[in-house]
Copies of this chain bind each other. A is one copy, B any other.
């Protein structure tokens, strides 16, 4: 199911998280830009139409959204965190050549993992690296 802006707004209301103008804009941006943007990309784009927006606010908002479980942080790259509105079960592939990050479907719950009895698993991430078809 694609996460819809209106549904996400309801979700935030339910959790008693204030729907400020800035937060809604960031959330809307993420629903419209599913290419796993960085903070800088989000900030730069939104700054065009909201000249008073602060980068700190983008950081704060993303932290709130991640904590609320509406957004997923991707650390497939060592140096810069990316954000994904899609929190469903899926993996990420990063092309070493062009840097693009692709989603792929995979069933993480089906992944057998010995040695994690009695562990409380809250979050699962699968990151692959390699070369994408366009770059081969």
Stretch from A13-21, A24-32, A121-129 forming part of the interface with B: A121-129
Smallest CB separation, A98 vs chain B (Å): 12
Closest Cβ neighbor of A131 among chain B residues = B120
Contact B133 A128 (CB under 8 A): no
Contact A133 B119 (CB under 8 A): yes
User: Taking the complex as formed, is A49 at the interface, i.e. its CB lies under 8 A from any CB of chain B?
Assistant: no
Closest Cβ neighbor of A103 among chain B residues = B115
Q: Give me 18 other A-B pairs in contact (C-beta within 8 A), A73-B78, A124-B127 excluded.
A: A75-B76, A75-B78, A78-B81, A96-B122, A102-B115, A106-B112, A106-B113, A107-B112, A110-B112, A113-B128, A116-B128, A118-B133, A119-B131, A122-B130, A122-B131, A123-B130, A125-B129, A127-B127
